[in-house]
Chains A and B, each alone.
Chain A
């Protein structure tokens, strides 16, 4: 009888496995869209990762932690330039992702900051990053590395021709 119970548990685990594997794709509560990182200068101790987080549920969620094997530590920051002063703040309570809304991490705004890089990030490579949400749980994504001057996903150098806005505080108020 006891072994039959074990078998039932085992079968349940097998059945549950596909759901767990599906995290990060279209069946996930949060879609991670256009993730990218910038290649880092020689000797740099830090790097940045940007992406759009699309909450497809009716529940507000929160990005509470991030980890990656390329860095000793990963934090979520908000950056803004106010009156010519760059201000960077760690979001110690995480980054809120409102119900049904998208939050974009981009240059001059929110970013995932890699601290204590174990190796430089080279253009063209990808590295794994795990995002932990309060409700959606863990989502692992492969992050492609763009050129050092990249300002958005996929596209090359930052030839400032005035199209980038003024580096505001992102599309959400800071908590």
Chain B
């Protein structure tokens, strides 16, 4: 085996974990997964704590379709921008906004206490609920939603987080419907949210 092959193999190994997450992302974005989500299951039961300090689970969201996004309050750019986007969509939905739940799940539970989540979310639309939990609880829901996150150390002894920036749209029976990818235009997102709001729960 030539040196070049070894290098290629090493690169493949290193990028494997990211590629796995990316694979799901692409499968979803190109519609291979589709509305039935038979090929890849996204979502599942969870136990977390909301920003008022109450224990929550998938049952808390039952009965309404929901938009769920994973991020962290220490995030300076994408997370506040996404939450602001979501706030704008909620406003544009008008009365339809009430037909959906909106959730921001922290993938940085060490820093994101319920109290901090509550304070942080006071800057956004009040429909958006903040969920956090123990590192194990967060790891479980992130795995179920195929959300990639990883702590990246900084030289001051602190850290930032790499994380998936996809919003998942789930129906009232906790089944995956579609995604809102990073920087999708408003018209397209609003069409998706209106479709989601129009679906009547089947059970």
A residues sitting closer than 8 Å to B (CB atoms) are 38, 40-48, 73, 75, 77, 79, 81-90, 92, 107-108, 111, 113-115, 148-149, 151, 157-162, 164, 166-167
Contact, CB under 8 Å: A86 / B74: no
User: Chain B residues with Cβ under 8 A from A84's Cβ?
Assistant: 21-22, 25, 29, 164-166, 181-182
User: Chain B residues with Cβ under 8 A from A160's Cβ?
Assistant: 85, 183-186
Count how many chain B residues have C-beta atoms less than 8 Å from C-beta atoms of the other chain: 47
B residues sitting closer than 8 Å to A (CB atoms) are 18-19, 21-22, 25-26, 29, 73-78, 80-81, 83-85, 88, 111, 116, 119-124, 148, 152, 154-156, 158, 160-166, 181-187
Contact, CB under 8 Å: B84 / A158: yes
* Bound CA–CA A85/B163 (angstroms): 5
**What are some 19 contacts across the A-B interface (CB < 8 A)?**
A42-B123, A44-B120, A45-B111, A46-B76, A82-B22, A84-B25, A85-B148, A86-B163, A88-B152, A88-B160, A88-B162, A89-B152, A107-B77, A111-B77, A115-B156, A148-B123, A149-B88, A160-B85, A161-B187
Contact, CB under 8 Å: B156 / A107: no
Contact, CB under 8 Å: A82 / B156: no
Contact, CB under 8 Å: A86 / B165: yes
User: Chain B residues with Cβ under 8 A from A108's Cβ?
Assistant: 77-78
Contact, CB under 8 Å: B80 / A44: yes
User: Chain B residues with Cβ under 8 A from A107's Cβ?
Assistant: 77, 81
* Cβ distance A132 to chain B, nearest Cβ, rounded Å: 16
Contact, CB under 8 Å: B148 / A148: no
Contact, CB under 8 Å: B88 / A157: yes
* Bound CA–CA A67/B116 (angstroms): 26
* Cβ distance A114 to chain B, nearest Cβ, rounded Å: 8
Contact, CB under 8 Å: B84 / A148: yes
Residue of B nearest to A38 (CB): B80
Indicate whether A159 sits within 8 Å of B22 (C-beta atoms), given known contacts A84-B182, A108-B77. no
Contact, CB under 8 Å: B21 / A85: yes
Instruction: State which of B22, B155, B156, B182 has its C-beta within 8 Å of the C-beta of A167.
Output: B182
- Select the residue from A43, A75, A162 with max chain B CB neighbours within 10 A: A43
Contact, CB under 8 Å: A86 / B78: yes
Residue of B nearest to A90 (CB): B154
Contact, CB under 8 Å: B154 / A75: yes
* Cβ distance A78 to chain B, nearest Cβ, rounded Å: 11
Give me the 7 closest cross-chain CB pairs, A-B, nearest first. Answer: A83-B22, A43-B119, A41-B123, A84-B25, A48-B76, A46-B76, A162-B185
* Bound CA–CA A166/B160 (angstroms): 22
User: Chain A residues with Cβ under 8 A from B121's Cβ?
Assistant: 41
- Select the residue from A86, A92, A148 with max chain B CB neighbours within 10 A: A86
User: Chain B residues with Cβ under 8 A from A162's Cβ?
Assistant: 185
